[in-house]
Chains A and B, each alone.
Chain A
Amino acid sequence: MSHIKIQLKEAQVNQLKEVCRSFDNDPGELINVLHKAQGIFGYLPAEVQEVVARELQLPVAKVYGVVTFYSFFTMQPKGLHPISICMGTACYVRGAEKVLDEFRRILNINVGESTADGKFSISCLRCVGACGLAPVVTIGEKVYGRVSPDGVKDILREYEF
């Protein structure tokens, strides 16, 4: 759950309204609207959900229900450098969880959260198709293979941690 208070700029609100309009403000298109909205903002903060609810004439609690139901939707902003740790079978058996724990320990955040300065966020994913390199971590577009817990600090240093 996000407690970060943001103020949407008028232009952003208008952009969001335009997205709703492109779906005829149809409440049945809620998921599509949220999908697009997340594409614009990167995440779905409370303020975005409120605008969507108002435009589609839906109760805001219902919008929140949908946002929290689907794992694709997130209410947390992604960091400047989004870190994804692969939890697929191959990576997992080769110690991905220990790697994840090390990221969490060093950055002091949990999966799905961002650091206070907005620089890093951690998420998990399932298989990037590089099982031979397990365990695999991606940061932004860059892929790191055979990551060990000891190597985590060095990786983060590349991003001026």
Chain B
Amino acid sequence: MSKYMVNLKINNIPVTVEEGTTILEAARKLNISIPTLCYHEDLSVAGNCRVCLVEVAGAKNLAASCAAPVSEGMEVNTNSKNVRTSRRHVVELLLSEHNADCTKCFKNGHCELQDLASEYRIGDHVFIDLVKPQDKVVDISSPSIQKDDSKCIRCQRCVRTCSELQSVSALAVCYKGDHQRISTFLSKPLHEVVCTNCGQCVNRCPTGALTERTYIEEVWDAINDPTKHVVVETAPAVRVALGEDLGIETGTRVTGKMVSALRHVGFDSVLDTDFTADLTILEEGNELLRRLKKALVEKDETVRLPMFTSCSPGWIKFIEHTYSDFLPHLSTCKSPQQMFGALAKTYYAQKKNINAKNMVVVSIMPCTAKKFESGRPEMRDSGYQDVDYVLTTRELAMMIKQAGIDFAKMEDTAYDSIMGDSTGAGVIFGNTGGVMEAALRTAYEVVTGREVPFANLNIVPVRGMEGVKEAKVMIKDVLPEWSFLEGVELSVAIAHGLANANKVVQAVRDGKASYHFIEIMGCPGGCIGGGGQPIPTNPEIRQKRADAIYAEDEGLPKRKSHDNPEVLHLYKEFLGEPLGHKSHDLLHTHYKARKRY
């Protein structure tokens, strides 16, 4: 063992851990639970909430176990009277500055502060209520995220998330003392700053200070309106996480149950975003090949390579603010959600004889940024707003509960047809590396006529949770029309989480790295770790969801986007060909620069 090991006792139980381990981590190894608020596995240690206090024999003061490293012979007590009393005081003090209107709060029942208040039986108001009236103004400027300072306990998880994981820093700690608050530049509304709407802060906020803007009531109204035909689409990552909010074990695939539940909730057509994920591959794959041809054969200097994926709306807003000079590098493909909306109100409406005016498209997404995306002016190519409402995985779970559905007992059923069929390639869009893998499965075969040279189609080098991944694929023995790609080694990169995306773009800009194609997903782990997914999130939970996505892929009869029969039918009946005139009108778009400062 290379690292020095340390022996200590926690509650009289001996434990040996590596040097540098914190008391909190050592306790967790013994399955001793210590409450935390500011601590989060994905973030650096702040040590500011003081709720994880423990007693260390011989020390004058209690120690914050999340920040205190272990030492040889240390004796820790996590459950002395002093510890319990102090923790209770900490929670009481936090509550004195907290607007505890729990019954009205979106986080009711999912709030870490509420859990602690209940654990420590906090009832009497020992401290006076210090919530400032000016903090009771809720910022609802963003269509994705709402910020309620009166619920904030200043644990700074959101600030660390925004800077460490996302390198966005839309939020900072401002003012000091009892005026301290978490604020944007000049306290501007969230909608007016560099916030990408990714919702990672929402995933980590221990209280109701940061939550998604919810549209559940609007969707119920649409469902209850007999003149409306309500279409629902579900993103790939929802099916491997929804169960977590409905009492089912993490990492369980609930696709069939979810489809049944959506019908019980009252949606008229239950369709799949995976269908348009497959479609995205055909459009984006062909776009990449066209760009390569223009660059390599026609020597067209206006063609920008590497090409970046454009599925993640958090990433899109990030590049608009931060790297607007790189916008021409973005694939012109809309995201699968938006392709779906544009086709639902044209193709699906036509084929099913529904007046698009009376159609309401609802999408269920692991994402908060999708709420913003659906309202973009670029996303009205059907003649209407293509996607009317976006609900998070969490909101869908709430609707299922409100509808009185016993989710665990739902039978498995299949999606409705003409926009409900999908391949394994569409499903893996939920994982980091998934879009790349799906694109390679198709592009390689288009160019060579053979399957990608990886066992069982699993392109392992693009998988996994490493922040930035690279892979190279040698293209050999190509079909005659692709002769210009003979012997070309296709170089690709994958990044997830905007801090990693930032690194990749910097490297490309500085000329330190050169790729043909780069996949970016705005959230850690990709969409399975999206800002709209069930709370909590941590590396272990994300890994389980990712594994479930790959299991879903392997379980499907078709695993290459170009094999999706409904997509082929769509081209034959409606679109014509990839990158054709109709595709151009409905499925592609361009984005504009936004101010960073």
Q: Which among B169, B175, B186, B596 is the interface contact of A62 at CB below 8 angstroms? A: B169
Bound Cα distance A112, B402 (Å): 51
Query: Which are the 4 A-B pairs with shortest beta-carbon distances?
Result: A59-B169, A65-B172, A61-B172, A50-B597
Which B residues, 170 to 196, have Cβ-Cβ distances below 8 Å to chain A? 170-176, 183-187, 193-194
State whether the Cβ of B168 lies closer than 8 Å to any Cβ in chain A.
yes
Given A1-B186, A46-B186; A61-B169 close (CB under 8 Å): yes
For residue A7, give the distance in angstroms from its CB to the closest CB of chain B.
15
State whether the Cβ of B163 lies closer than 8 Å to any Cβ in chain A.
yes
Bound Cα distance A94, B184 (Å): 41
Choose among A49, A50, A61, A62 the residue with the greatest number of B CB atoms under 10 Å from its CB: A61
Write out the residue numbers on chain A whose beta carbons fall within 8 Å of the beta carbon of B596: 54, 60
**Is A69 a contact partner of B175 (Cβ separation < 8 A)?**
yes
Which A residues, 43 to 72, have Cβ-Cβ distances below 8 Å to chain B? 46, 49-50, 53-54, 59-65, 68-69
For chain A, the count of residues having a C-beta within 8 Å of the partner chain is 16
**Is B172 a contact partner of A54 (Cβ separation < 8 A)?**
no
Bound Cα distance A27, B596 (Å): 17
Write out the residue numbers on chain B whose beta carbons fall within 8 Å of the beta carbon of A46: 185-186
Given A1-B187, A64-B186; A59-B163 close (CB under 8 Å): yes
Given A1-B186, A59-B163; A64-B597 close (CB under 8 Å): no
**Is A65 a contact partner of B173 (Cβ separation < 8 A)?**
yes
**Is B176 a contact partner of A64 (Cβ separation < 8 A)?**
no
Q: Which among A2, A53, A65, A68 is the interface contact of B597 at CB below 8 angstroms? A: A53
**Is B597 a contact partner of A54 (Cβ separation < 8 A)?**
yes
Which B residues, 47 to 92, have Cβ-Cβ distances below 8 Å to chain A? none
**Is B597 a contact partner of A61 (Cβ separation < 8 A)?**
no
Chain A contact surface mostly:
helix
Write out the residue numbers on chain A whose beta carbons fall within 8 Å of the beta carbon of B172: 59, 61-62, 64-65
Bound Cα distance A54, B170 (Å): 14
Bound Cα distance A159, B169 (Å): 45
12 sampled A-B residue pairs with Cβ under 8 A: A1-B186, A1-B187, A2-B186, A46-B186, A49-B185, A60-B185, A61-B194, A63-B185, A64-B172, A64-B174, A65-B174, A65-B183
For residue B569, give the distance in angstroms from its CB to the closest CB of chain A.
48
Q: Which residue of A lies closest to B167 (CB)?
A: A59
For residue A150, give the distance in angstroms from its CB to the closest CB of chain B.
34
Write out the residue numbers on chain A whose beta carbons fall within 8 Å of the beta carbon of B186: 1-2, 46, 64
Choose among B168, B169, B183, B597 the residue with the greatest number of A CB atoms under 10 Å from its CB: B597
List the interface of chain B (C-beta within 8 A of A).
163, 168-176, 183-187, 193-194, 596-597
Q: Which among B175, B176, B184 is the interface contact of A61 at CB below 8 angstroms? A: B184
Bound Cα distance A65, B172 (Å): 6
Write out the residue numbers on chain A whose beta carbons fall within 8 Å of the beta carbon of B169: 59, 61-62
Bound Cα distance A123, B8 (Å): 55
Write out the residue numbers on chain B whose beta carbons fall within 8 Å of the beta carbon of A61: 169-172, 174, 183-185, 193-194
Q: Which residue of B lies closest to A70 (CB)?
A: B176
Give 8 new A-B contacts, CB below 8 A, not counting A59-B170, A60-B597, A64-B174: A2-B186, A60-B596, A61-B172, A61-B184, A61-B185, A63-B185, A68-B183, A69-B174
Bound Cα distance A85, B173 (Å): 30
Bound Cα distance A64, B175 (Å): 9
For residue B19, give the distance in angstroms from its CB to the closest CB of chain A.
29
For residue A13, give the distance in angstroms from its CB to the closest CB of chain B.
12
For residue A158, give the distance in angstroms from its CB to the closest CB of chain B.
35
The digit string for A1-14, where 1 denotes a CB below 8 A from any CB of B, is: 11000000000000
**Is B185 a contact partner of A68 (Cβ separation < 8 A)?**
no
**Is A68 a contact partner of B174 (Cβ separation < 8 A)?**
yes
Bound Cα distance A54, B597 (Å): 7
For residue A51, give the distance in angstroms from its CB to the closest CB of chain B.
8
Write out the residue numbers on chain A whose beta carbons fall within 8 Å of the beta carbon of B175: 68-69
Write out the residue numbers on chain B whose beta carbons fall within 8 Å of the beta carbon of A68: 174-176, 183
Write out the residue numbers on chain A whose beta carbons fall within 8 Å of the beta carbon of B171: 61
Write out the residue numbers on chain B whose beta carbons fall within 8 Å of the beta carbon of A54: 596-597
**Is A64 a contact partner of B183 (Cβ separation < 8 A)?**
yes
Write out the residue numbers on chain A whose beta carbons fall within 8 Å of the beta carbon of B597: 50, 53-54, 60
Write out the residue numbers on chain B whose beta carbons fall within 8 Å of the beta carbon of A1: 186-187
Bound Cα distance A59, B173 (Å): 12
Q: Which residue of A lies closest to B181 (CB)?
A: A68
Write out the residue numbers on chain A whose beta carbons fall within 8 Å of the beta carbon of B185: 46, 49, 60-61, 63-64
**Is B176 a contact partner of A69 (Cβ separation < 8 A)?**
yes
Write out the residue numbers on chain A whose beta carbons fall within 8 Å of the beta carbon of B184: 61
Bound Cα distance A59, B172 (Å): 9
For residue B434, give the distance in angstroms from its CB to the closest CB of chain A.
30
Bound Cα distance A60, B172 (Å): 9
For residue B314, give the distance in angstroms from its CB to the closest CB of chain A.
16
Choose among A49, A53, A68, A69 the residue with the greatest number of B CB atoms under 10 Å from its CB: A68
Write out the residue numbers on chain B whose beta carbons fall within 8 Å of the beta carbon of A2: 186
For residue B574, give the distance in angstroms from its CB to the closest CB of chain A.
45
Write out the residue numbers on chain A whose beta carbons fall within 8 Å of the beta carbon of B187: 1
Bound Cα distance A120, B259 (Å): 68
Bound Cα distance A142, B273 (Å): 73
Bound Cα distance A61, B193 (Å): 9
Bound Cα distance A7, B596 (Å): 17
For residue B115, give the distance in angstroms from its CB to the closest CB of chain A.
30
Q: Which residue of A lies closest to B180 (CB)?
A: A69
Q: Which residue of B lies closest to A3 (CB)?
A: B186
For residue A81, give the distance in angstroms from its CB to the closest CB of chain B.
27
Bound Cα distance A59, B174 (Å): 13
For residue A89, give the distance in angstroms from its CB to the closest CB of chain B.
21
The digit string for A62-103, where 1 denotes a CB below 8 A from any CB of B, is: 111100110000000000000000000000000000000000
Write out the residue numbers on chain B whose beta carbons fall within 8 Å of the beta carbon of A69: 173-176
Write out the residue numbers on chain B whose beta carbons fall within 8 Å of the beta carbon of A60: 185, 596-597
For residue A33, give the distance in angstroms from its CB to the closest CB of chain B.
15
Bound Cα distance A49, B597 (Å): 9
Bound Cα distance A61, B158 (Å): 13
Choose among A2, A46, A59, A69 the residue with the greatest number of B CB atoms under 10 Å from its CB: A59
For residue B318, give the distance in angstroms from its CB to the closest CB of chain A.
13
Write out the residue numbers on chain A whose beta carbons fall within 8 Å of the beta carbon of B173: 65, 69
For residue A30, give the distance in angstroms from its CB to the closest CB of chain B.
12
Bound Cα distance A54, B187 (Å): 19
Choose among A1, A53, A54, A69 the residue with the greatest number of B CB atoms under 10 Å from its CB: A69
For residue B90, give the distance in angstroms from its CB to the closest CB of chain A.
23
Write out the residue numbers on chain A whose beta carbons fall within 8 Å of the beta carbon of B170: 59, 61
